[in-house]
Amino acid sequence: MRAALITGGSSGIGLAIARMLRDDGFELTLSARTPEKLESAAGELGAHSVIANVADEEDCERLVADHKEQFGRLDVLVNSAGVGLGGPSEQMSTKKWDLQLDVNLRGTFVVTRAAIPMLRESRGLVVNLASIAGTVPVPGLAAYGASKAGVISLTNSMNRELEADGIRICALCPGFVDTPMASWTGMSADEMIQPEDCAEVVRLLLRLSPAARIPQVVVERLGDRP
Tell me the catalytic residues. 144
Distance CA 135, CA 226 (A): 9
**Residue 195: strand, helix, or coil:** helix
Distance CA 58, CA 114 (A): 11
Which residue type sits at 41?
A
Which residue type sits at 123?
R
Distance CA 19, CA 13 (A): 10
Distance CA 103, CA 100 (A): 5
Distance CA 64, CA 29 (A): 9
CB atoms within 10 A of CB 57: 16
For 32, list phi and psi in degrees, rounded to 5. Answer: -165, 175
**Residue 173: strand, helix, or coil:** strand
